[in-house]
A and B are shown apart, each in its own frame.
Chain A
């Protein structure tokens, strides 16, 4: 036990002291901050490009539709109240006006132009061209305003009072979302998706990162031939356990550092965002309880042990780094598959297929937290999945220990699957 501790201590201290650990610990939050800020930043940008005064409405409807659209589009969101410029023209002049507007957009004198023709006045079609054409919120907004202007136009022609119609039809609905679980209301749905995404992403990153660290560590020990000195003093099982414990603690340290800096950022986001010149986006802080965090930790620890055992076994089978990467492919695929399912599970956490996938021990550590943070999962289901995961850990550790015991002193060509099977059968 003391030796296991010595191994774990070495693995931990040597890695925490390394330059890479410091860099990753500092860069992690930076990356996460960027991930966090980028959508906000893009949204701000998106709003800027929608500045109505920078687009032109080419109105060939011979009605007041263009003016009405310009009116309801309003000014930009940046406090600019000037309206979009409306050019009224005959349908025959449209082609020429469009090509000149295109040139203006290309020369950045305009952001874009909206074409309203006879079909538009019937509410059938309109065209928009511009640099922000792929910005979904902008396009939604223009579409809505054209629809509304057509509607108002129709109502006016049906004899309703223009001003009344205008004031009655002005609706600006804001949809607030809230999640209801069996235990009651809790947090906003969007916030929970964010938590699910960040948690699963961080878990995935750490398991891949530190699983690979174990793999490299084992191959390195073999390559350096230091393994023989060490196993002459400790049982290979203790060496394996100490390694998993030590490297796992490094991962937990990193996780703690990242969580702390994320918490700090959320706490002080207003001054930070102001300093970056961005409007403060309201972050719907999701309700993450103590139990959620414990569950997340348990899944992380178990998932890490599972994959660490597999990576260690792979490391013991091969003699050099290139072979290691190749031999580790099946394990890598297992973990990447789990990551691939993050989004489907996030979008549809209650479908039977997604449920089953989230129960499989190899993907459970990453996908169960996704499900539990979006929908309410009964506690016994979580407990059963954890038990399954523990069982898988025990089996994998047992197999890994046997492969490790034989493989760590084997050099030369990579063993075939048959040989590995023999190792497992007759370890020592």
Chain B
């Protein structure tokens, strides 16, 4: 296995009223796109803040790019896009970017050289208008997000941490972000992002870790996670007028564990030990015209719901604890 970009061992973080992260262990190989998934309040932001040495774990150790994360200058090689985005509103964009780069150990002159191409690449600088010379609060929200994104990558970090990167992005910026992530991976960078949007995680991640209530529920490569979960799902669609018969058939607890009525088709989770062939036989026996009968790989979304369930979502705890 390649060197680890991130190695978290048995990390615990307690706050006054609750335990935010308990005994979390996870490893991110270098060059991976890694998804940290979990409902709100699961401890994602707390974990990320510990990785960035903003807060210290009560127990456990964190190594970033092979070194303890408390080492000075190490975090200069990490880029961070926080969930709550924010910039100095009254600052000129170029000066702001230069300042944030200087905080990562890049000289002002070097930063100036890099800012131009980035502004052009994200269309903040066009022949008509250079937004880099404007103040931040003159920019639209979408443009400010681009600026924040540049700030996160300007120092060419080896590990990029994106906390809920897709929240609040319009489709165009979301696409730009996705393209950039793919390009970073191609250049051998490691990307860790947290999200509660399973679809985007499923499309982009090599590996994922699902956490809930501060604990790891499962982790591994996306393929491994899916195959481990087994094919327990069947999609059934019948001609429109015959759905009632199927619905009563699916109430049999010996075969069916749960049904997700998707309106145009049913997504069925089979009961333990039930055979999908038995279900097919019964549907055929109903004599209704079958439009679809398919064994489907569970989506991350489905796995997430199965493993975390409603009980994993604790109300009232935000991601800022």
Contacts and interface: CB of A to CB of B under 8 A. Distances in A.
Contact of B88 (A3, A224, A409, A428): A224
Contacts of B75: 232-233
B55 A229 contact: no
**In this complex, which of B76, B102, B105 has the most chain A Cβ atoms within 10 angstroms of its Cβ?**
B102
A40 interface: no
Contacts of B2: none
A204 to B, nearest CB: 27
A224 B86 contact: yes
A227 B86 contact: yes
Contacts of A3: 102-103, 105
Contacts of A419: 16
Interface string A1-44: 01100110010011000100000000000000000000000000
A228 B54 CA distance: 8
A165 interface: no
A88 B75 CA distance: 97
B87 interface: yes
A18 B89 CA distance: 13
A171 B286 CA distance: 132
A233 B88 contact: no
Per DSSP, chain A at the interface is helix
Nearest to A3: B103
Interface string B78-110: 101010111111110001000110111100000
A411 B104 CA distance: 26
Interface string B51-90: 0101110000000000000000001101010101111111
Interface in B255-309: none
Contacts of B237: none
A410 B84 CA distance: 12
Nearest to B99: A10
Contacts of A6: 99, 102-103
A233 B103 contact: yes
B320 interface: yes
B12 interface: no
B33 interface: no
A324 B55 CA distance: 24
Contacts of B55: 409, 428
Per DSSP, chain B at the interface is loop
B151 interface: yes
A229 B89 contact: no
B151 A422 contact: no
Interface footprint category on B: 20 to 34
Given A224-B88, A228-B82, A233 B320 contact: no
Interface in B117-164: 148, 151
Contacts of B90: 14, 18
Contact of A229 (B16, B49, B82): B82
A230 B84 contact: no
Contacts of A226: 86-88
Nearest to B48: A232
A14 B98 CA distance: 13
B103 A234 contact: yes
B104 A233 contact: yes
Contacts of A227: 86
Interface string A211-237: 000000000010011111111111000
Interface footprint category on A: 20 to 34
Given A14-B90, A232-B54, A233-B75, A225 B103 contact: no
Interface string B29-61: 000000000000000000001001011100000
B86 A229 contact: yes
B318 to A, nearest CB: 9
B91 A225 contact: no
Contact of A228 (B76, B86, B104): B86
B52 A232 contact: yes
A276 to B, nearest CB: 39
A201 B297 CA distance: 76
Contact of B80 (A18, A229, A409): A229
A428 B87 contact: no
Interface string B212-242: 0000000000000000000000000000000
Given A2-B105, A409-B320, A232 B82 contact: yes
Given A3-B103, A411-B320, A428-B55, A232 B80 contact: yes
A225 B85 CA distance: 6
Contacts of B320: 409-412
Given A2-B105, A6-B103, A224-B86, A229 B91 contact: no
Contact of B86 (A225, A233, A412, A422): A225
Given A6-B103, A230-B103, A409-B320, A225 B56 contact: no
Contacts of A7: 103
Contacts of A410: 320
A228 B91 contact: no
Contacts of A412: 320
Interface of B: 16, 49, 52, 54-56, 75-76, 78, 80, 82, 84-91, 95, 99-100, 102-105, 148, 151, 320
Interface of A: 2-3, 6-7, 10, 13-14, 18, 221, 224-234, 409-412, 419, 422, 428
22 contacts: A2-B105, A3-B103, A6-B102, A7-B103, A10-B95, A10-B99, A14-B88, A221-B88, A225-B86, A228-B54, A228-B82, A228-B84, A229-B82, A229-B151, A230-B100, A231-B54, A232-B78, A232-B80, A233-B104, A409-B54, A409-B320, A411-B320
Given A3-B105, A228-B54, A428-B55, 13 more contacts: A6-B103, A10-B95, A18-B90, A225-B86, A227-B86, A229-B80, A229-B87, A229-B151, A230-B100, A232-B80, A233-B75, A409-B49, A411-B320
